Amino acid sequence: MKRRELRTAQGGFSLIEMLLVLGIIAFIATMLAQNIFKNQESANVRAAQAGVRKVATAVDQFYLDSGTLPSKIDDLVTRPGNAANWNGPYINPSQANDPWKNPYVLKVPGEGGQPYAVISLGADKAPGGKDNAADIDNNQ
């Protein structure tokens, strides 16, 4: 009697199939990451616009209380030596920085005849820039 050889079919994926699936997963992950980072940058811009308005309101309150404009953003957090009637702090230390962790810039006088300007330098952390890297100014 002959012994029958039983062959069992071995199922599984070939190397090519595995590489193809991994490539598709990497492509989808890349597309999702780009979309997420794009949304994060526009959210940072909106947060910086709100922060600039908040700091500008604090500058106005400082002026109403003391009769002078602050010389720097830190004057809104801690009392400067020459400020009479200082009723601060007008902002928390964490509110003195934009979403990119850079301090807001206070420019006295501002441009175009404005008494002051509160500026976030944007994502590029340098003056100027375009799109998400553009400066954000309370007088815009």
Burial 86-119 (b: 16+ CB within 10 A, else e): bebbbbeeebbebbbebebbbeeebeeeeebbbb
Residue 126 burial by CB count (10 A; 0-12/13-18/19+): exposed, middle or buried? exposed
**Residue position matching structure tokens 């330098």:** 121
Q: Is the dihedral of CA 66, 69, 72, 76 positive or negative?
A: positive
In this prediction, residue 4 carries a pLDDT of 63
pTM of the model: 0.70
In this prediction, residue 7 carries a pLDDT of 59
In this prediction, residue 86 carries a pLDDT of 86
Could you tell me which residue, 140 or 121, shows the higher pLDDT? Answer: 121
Helices (H), the chain: 15-66
Question: Across residues 115-134, what is the average pLDDT?
Answer: 83
Question: Across residues 87-98, what is the average pLDDT?
Answer: 89
In this prediction, residue 10 carries a pLDDT of 63
Question: Across residues 84-99, what is the average pLDDT?
Answer: 88
In this prediction, residue 21 carries a pLDDT of 92
Give the chain's domains with CATH numbers: 20-137 (3.30.700.10)
